[in-house]
Structure 1
Amino acid sequence: MCGRMALTLPHDAMAQVFDAAPANDLPDVPNYNVCPTAQVATVTSDAGTRHLRAMRWGFVPHWYTGVTDRPLLINARAETIAEKPAFRAACRERRCLIPASGFYEWTRLEDGTKLPWYITRRDGAPLAFAGIWQDWVRDGAALTTCAIVTTGANAAMAPIHHRIPVVLEQEDWPLWLGEAGKGAARLMQAPGEDVLHFHRVSRAVNSNRASGPELIDPIDAD
């Protein structure tokens, strides 16, 4: 799964990397502890014209009567995304990229202690998660919301967690965004074994109120 991430790339740099026109309401960066329900930067494509825009992290299906009265959908499982009523239309029609500098995952010890890890691309490039999005409108309130697509972890990540975000390579962005025809389903798989790098970080990040660049600093494993 993916339940917390960091985004440190400036807006103009993100716009250049993803060849997208930036909106004026993008979330502040750097943010070393992006939590669910926060605004995140996303990339969408409108007939080949890409837009860098803000969305609420936490997918809200159109039939929800409120944003807090049902489970918070921050991830969508690749194995069932095309079948789940909440996600199947978005999977076909509303796919996006969700940029991140890195994301956090936790291993849990037998005594319940949670040990956090920070995961990035080994080559230093930004991560581009496969995402889906949905407009939600109810009683005059309107939100644009998104979820990260996840799949089973590869062998390198499995000791940390059994799920992993779908990380898309740059050459696959057009297909996921609907710019290169059909067949995006084949992209919903774990990244190669050598794509990601991970290191232990301080348990300070266990708090969703923590902030600052020290959250991603490596520490010796204990």
Structure 2
Amino acid sequence: MCGRYTLLEDDRNQNIREILEQIERKHGRDCIKTGEIFPTAATPILVDGENGIQPELAKWGFPHFASGSVVANAPVETAEKKWMFHNSLYTRRCLIPCTGFRKWGPETVKQRYTNPDHTPVYIAGMYNDYDQERHCVVLTAPTGDNTGKREERLPVVIPAERADEWLSDTVSAFSMLHCEPSALEKTDET
């Protein structure tokens, strides 16, 4: 499960900076918080637009009307079957650009995942509109390392060179959900 990710705009992340600038031109300054991003925060997503890939603003998490909370993650194994995700998975896929994400490991140790070359990470997601507000969720898949009692899950990461395929080609997108996760660098934080 993904409970946090980072969105940093430093010298190594020119692409992230460009995405943020495009969204701020459309929605105004300070519409997006950078740093550590939590569920319910406004965040950039990339969607398949009329002129190719374009950034949009979305709130992280689909509303869970029964509980009053949000659903921030969708397991790939059930996303196609659940009414909350089914149509979005087929017609409203997005990428969530970030500089890395965090996962809590055993004994509350935080594990940070980033690209070894510090380029942006593109998390597979889907979006939908609720009450005239765009929302997104992160797609998660089991890792190959199931050594603990609970199954470990991580966000599905889409390679930058396959971004257009993920957004516009349903057959290719579904095959990407079941590929081996990309080689991210993992570091433990206390």
The alpha-carbon deviation at position 76 of structure 1 amounts to: 0.8
The alignment status of 1:198 with 2:169, answered yes or no, reads: no
Larger Rg computed on CA atoms: 1
The alpha-carbon deviation at position 13 of structure 1 amounts to: 2.9
1:177 aligns to what SS in structure 2?
Answer: helix
Q: Could you list the per-position Cα deviations for residues 29-83 of structure 1 after superposition, in whole angstroms to 9, with x for gaps in the alignment?
A: 3x1x21111111111112342221211001137xx4xxx8445210111111111
Letter in 1 for 2:62: F
Which ranges in structure 2 are unaligned for 5 or more consecutive residues? none
2:82 aligns to what SS in structure 1?
Answer: coil
Q: Percent identity?
A: 24
Match of 1:108 among 106, 109, 131: 106
Q: Could you list the per-position Cα deviations for residues 148-202 of structure 1 after superposition, in whole angstroms to 9, with x for gaps in the alignment?
A: 00101133x9669700100001221111111x4643100113414xx11111113
- Equivalence for 1:216: none
**In 1: Cα distance, 2:141 partner to 2:164 partner:** 20
Q: Where do residues 2-81 of structure 1 align in structure 2 (5 Å cutoff)?
A: 2-9=2-9, 13-14=15-16, 22-24=22-24, 25=27, 26-29=31-34, 31=35, 33-60=36-63, 64=65, 69-81=67-79
The alignment status of 1:135 with 2:140, answered yes or no, reads: no
Question: Does the aligned pair in 2 maintain the 1:12–1:22 contact within 8 Å?
Answer: no
Question: Does the aligned pair in 2 maintain the 1:21–1:52 contact within 8 Å?
Answer: no
**In 2: Cα distance, 1:48 partner to 1:6 partner:** 28
**In 2: Cα distance, 1:158 partner to 1:54 partner:** 37
- Equivalence for 1:207: none
Letter in 1 for 2:91: E
TM-score (structure 1 length as normaliser): 0.72
Question: Does the aligned pair in 1 maintain the 2:103–2:111 contact within 8 Å?
Answer: yes
TM-score (structure 2 length as normaliser): 0.83
Which ranges in structure 1 are unaligned for 5 or more consecutive residues? 203-222
Detail structure 1 runs of 4+ shifted over 4 Å in the superposition.
157-161
- Equivalence for 1:169: 159
